[in-house]
Amino acid sequence: MKKSILTTFQVLSLAALAALAIYLAPKYSNPFKYHFEVGQPWAYGLVTAESNFAIYKTDAQLEAEQKEVLRDYTPCYTLDTAAVQGHLMVVSLEEKERLQALGCTNVSVLYNRVATKVAVADLYTPKEAYEKTHRNIAVNLQYDSITSDNLRQNILSSISLTHGMVQEGEKIIDTGEIVSERTYQILESLRRTIEEQNLSHRQSLTSTIGVGLYIMVLVAMFGMYLYTYRRKLLYNLRHMLFFTILMALLVTTAFIVLRHVAAGYIYLIPFAWVPIIARVFYDSRTAIFIHLITILIVSIAAPAPYVFVLLQVITGIVAVISLRDMTQRAQLAQTALFVFLTYSIVYTAITMLVTGEIMNVEYHYYIYFAINAVLVICAYGLIFLFERTFGLVSNITLVELTNVNSNLMLEFAEKAPGTFQHSLQVSNLATEAAKRIGAKVLLVRTGALYHDIGKMAHPEYFIENQTGVNPLQAMSCAEAAKVIINHVEEGERIARKHRLPEVIVHFIRSHHGTSVTRYFYNTAVNAAKTAGKTATDVNKEDYSYPGPKPSTKEAAILMMADAIEARSRSLNELTEQSIAEMVDQMIDAQVADGQFSETVLSFKDLEDIRAVFKQKLIEINHHRIVYPTIEETK
């Protein structure tokens, strides 16, 4: 029931991602979805004219023709005959300056419906008229805006917006050809012609359905990948929210840029964030797959889609390889450099491959790639944010937690020195075993350091910290067992107080699983039998740890290392045979008790772990030679 409910939420999260992508995807009202620039190779197939269409003039061409035809244009003015004195035509100072700024040499003066051409130089301002006649003469020419605008529009309307025709079936451009200025003009004319032909509602709906189906197939593929290879992640809502939010962040940014900014700026967006952040928290295969799905979704609107996909996929793979194990912040700077170099080299290679000319490279793209690389470094902030938001843990955090000089570790060493040394030994054993079977080494090391931290609360109850009387001897077996078992609960409390990651808390809670405090339980059973009772009279639950059992390889390794290291200290004789027998006995008992039933450990893993523990314990406990003393001479 629980799994089915979680599955519903997972489906909803994937559906929300698909719906967001479909909603934000740039909508095209026509089938002309090509992106092109002058000097760039044509990234699509052969394009021919499906019908005759006119070639529209460029803005520059139209502007030049307008200037030419307007050269003889004269603004119109109306003469106020009542204000004419001495046949002088007077305009305001502002009006004359405007005419001069426009470059007009003549104006048309309307008088009794007759237009007379008058030179601008023969027009007077009030000041100039006074200097000529020594009389104040009022302005008698008024600008006739209506007549002037009509005349101007009539002149401009004589200019044709097109020049030349493209005939039906005529080739326009083919794959790999460079977009020249002439070809660019023809392509723009084709686009404009198609846009002017209104699409039917049916065509628009069909296009939208196509986009929707494409995106839903990609999102479904992502869900199928998780179901097939990473089912635990699929059934965990926290991980699913992480995946969908990370992908939605990049998809949303890309579609906003494509819809409202400029297509070329798509290369400013750091798509490498997706594989980098996913790789920090998960495995390389998952990181690359998430990146691939994200890129394919964005590609439906990206300029030159196949070039875009090639660039992003190759760069994402390089980013994942460079961050195989991210343990230092400086590694992001190195990855950013690899991202810039990959973008630059692949872009240059594709351009040279398609065009055969290095001169066709657009150098502003290298600036985009450099900015993109700088933004890659900012992924560290997102890693920290996702860690806190989703309870994930990165290798950087684990490295920080393994610092034995941290305040918590120093307090641990001071309050429970014996337990601290035990934790260090367990950490060494577990680390070597993790290396052998390919488990997460850094995670095991960190979990081992903190697994017994609960003993800080009452270190005097644990034999490794005792130097005198054991206070447990004054308690009943059940009371003593409860005190010992309680260190797990105390460990969880301390871990949460210091905000340790949830995965470390799991190590603390599961390192004894549901096992029994065997010393006190066996003692209680023996005492019951001596008193004439049976073993069933002893409540086994009073002596059992609450669990949970280990659920990962790493937690299982820690359980084995913890038990074996503790037991090795009780051996009377440390020989290869006694150590080997003890290791086999402890692991066999845990397997028989079902403590590893929730992990994916194989029989080979168990055999490899046994071998590592035996070898390391022998190395740790090897005998040293006895140094001879100097005998005194008689």
Residue 55 lies in a domain: no
Instruction: Give the count of domains, the chain.
Output: 3
> What is the C-alpha to C-alpha distance for residues 393 and 619, in angstroms, rounded to an integer?
33
- Return the H-helix or E-strand segment holding 141: strand 141-143
**Which position has the higher pLDDT, 533 or 17?**
17
Instruction: Supply the DSSP string of 304-336, one letter for each residue.
Output: SHHHHHHHHHHHHHHHHHHTTT--STHHHHHHH
217 with 141, same domain? no
pLDDT band at 405 (very low <50, low <70, confident <90, very high): very high
Number of neighbours of residue 445 by Cβ within 10 angstroms: 21
**Which of 156, 186, 215 is the C-terminal boundary of a domain?**
156
> What is the C-alpha to C-alpha distance for residues 30 and 194, in angstroms, rounded to an integer?
7
Is 536 in contact with 517 (CB distance < 8 Å)? no
Q: At 521, list the tokens.
A: 């339980």
**Residue-level pLDDT at 264:** 81
CA 228 to chain centre: 23
Adjacent-strand bridge partners of 56: 162
207 with 147, same domain? no
Residue 175 lies in a domain: no
283 with 341, same domain? yes
83 with 136, same domain? yes
**Residue-level pLDDT at 625:** 56
Whether the pLDDT of residue 181 is over 50: the answer is: yes
Residue 130 lies in a domain: yes
pLDDT band at 2 (very low <50, low <70, confident <90, very high): very low
Tell me: the pLDDT tens digits for 480-515? 999 999 999 999 999 999 999 999 999 999 999 999
**Residue-level pLDDT at 622:** 64
Number of neighbours of residue 390 by Cβ within 10 angstroms: 16
311 with 241, same domain? yes
Which of 144-158, 239-253, 441-455, 599-613 is least confident? 144-158
> What is the C-alpha to C-alpha distance for residues 286 and 583, in angstroms, rounded to an integer?
36
Number of neighbours of residue 256 by Cβ within 10 angstroms: 13
Please report, for residues 65, 82, 107, the alpha-carbon distance to residue 129 in angstroms, rounded to integers and kept in the order given. 38, 16, 18
Q: At 249, list the tokens.
A: 């962040």
If 0-12 CB within 10 Å is exposed, 13-18 middle and 19+ buried, where does residue 94 land?
Answer: exposed
Q: At 190, list the tokens.
A: 């084709």
What is the value of pTM for the model shown? 0.69
pLDDT band at 4 (very low <50, low <70, confident <90, very high): very low
**Which of 341, 357, 390 is the C-terminal boundary of a domain?**
390
If 0-12 CB within 10 Å is exposed, 13-18 middle and 19+ buried, where does residue 477 land?
Answer: buried
Tell me: the pLDDT tens digits for 577-623? 999 999 999 999 999 999 999 998 999 999 999 999 999 998 887 65
Q: At 604, list the tokens.
A: 């080979």
**Which position has the higher pLDDT, 446 or 169?**
446
pLDDT band at 559 (very low <50, low <70, confident <90, very high): very high
Whether the pLDDT of residue 558 is over 80: the answer is: yes
**Residue-level pLDDT at 27:** 64
- Three-class SS of residue 302? coil
If you average pLDDT over residues 294-320, what whole number do you get? 92
**Residue-level pLDDT at 189:** 86
Is 194 in contact with 371 (CB distance < 8 Å)? no
Of 329, 366, 370, 331, nearest to 347 by C-alpha is: 366
Of 584, 565, 576, 577, nearest to 619 by C-alpha is: 576
**Residue-level pLDDT at 326:** 74
Residue 560 lies in a domain: yes
**Residue-level pLDDT at 436:** 95
Average pLDDT, the chain: 88
According to DSSP, the β-strands at 76-79 and 106-111 are parallel
- Return the H-helix or E-strand segment holding 408: helix 407-415
Of 348, 351, 260, 264, nearest to 302 by C-alpha is: 264
Matching residue, tokens 């010992």 = 484
pLDDT band at 85 (very low <50, low <70, confident <90, very high): low
If you average pLDDT over residues 380-389, what whole number do you get? 89
Of 537, 320, 501, nearest to 402 by C-alpha is: 501
Of 24, 492, 11, 567, nearest to 248 by C-alpha is: 24
Whether the pLDDT of residue 564 is over 50: the answer is: yes
**Which position has the higher pLDDT, 538 or 72?**
538
> What is the C-alpha to C-alpha distance for residues 373 and 315, in angstroms, rounded to an integer?
11
431 with 381, same domain? no
536 with 484, same domain? yes
199 φ, ψ (degrees, to nearest 5): -75, 150
Residue 47 lies in a domain: no
Instruction: Supply the DSSP string of 93-127, one letter for each residue.
Output: HHHHHHHHHHT--EEEEEETTEEEEEEGGG-B-HH
**Which of 390, 414, 432 is the C-terminal boundary of a domain?**
390
346 with 471, same domain? no
Residue 197 lies in a domain: no
**Residue-level pLDDT at 1:** 40
Number of neighbours of residue 343 by Cβ within 10 angstroms: 24
123 φ, ψ (degrees, to nearest 5): -90, 145
Exposure letters 52-79 (e unless 16+ CB within 10 A, then b): ebebbbeeeeeeebeeeeeeebbbbbeb
Is 386 in contact with 279 (CB distance < 8 Å)? no
Cα torsion 409, 412, 414, 418: sign: negative
CATH number for position 564: 1.10.3210
Number of neighbours of residue 15 by Cβ within 10 angstroms: 14
> What is the C-alpha to C-alpha distance for residues 235 and 405, in angstroms, rounded to an integer?
38
Whether the pLDDT of residue 277 is over 90: the answer is: yes
Residue 223 lies in a domain: yes
> What is the C-alpha to C-alpha distance for residues 595 and 105, in angstroms, rounded to an integer?
101
Cα torsion 409, 410, 415, 421: sign: positive
CA 440 to chain centre: 23
Instruction: Supply the DSSP string of 63-76, one letter for each residue.
Output: HHHHHHHGGG---E
> What is the C-alpha to C-alpha distance for residues 388 and 381, in angstroms, rounded to an integer?
11
432 with 293, same domain? no
pLDDT band at 220 (very low <50, low <70, confident <90, very high): very high
Of 191, 186, 242, 195, nearest to 14 by C-alpha is: 242
Residue 539: domain span: 405-620
If 0-12 CB within 10 Å is exposed, 13-18 middle and 19+ buried, where does residue 189 land?
Answer: buried
472 with 337, same domain? no
Matching residue, tokens 């080494």 = 441
Of 501, 486, 485, nearest to 450 by C-alpha is: 501
Q: At 123, list the tokens.
A: 């027009």
Q: At 497, list the tokens.
A: 């107080």
If 0-12 CB within 10 Å is exposed, 13-18 middle and 19+ buried, where does residue 33 land?
Answer: middle
Tell me: the pLDDT tens digits for 12-39? 889 999 999 999 887 654 556 677 778 7
Tell me: the pLDDT tens digits for 413-444? 999 999 999 999 999 999 999 999 999 999 99
Is 544 in contact with 482 (CB distance < 8 Å)? no
Residue 178 lies in a domain: no
516 with 616, same domain? yes
Which of 28-42, 104-118, 233-247 is least confident? 28-42
248 with 211, same domain? yes
Q: At 200, list the tokens.
A: 């039917």
> What is the C-alpha to C-alpha distance for residues 380 and 386, in angstroms, rounded to an integer?
10
Whether the pLDDT of residue 6 is over 60: the answer is: no
- Three-class SS of residue 193? helix
Adjacent-strand bridge partners of 165: 54
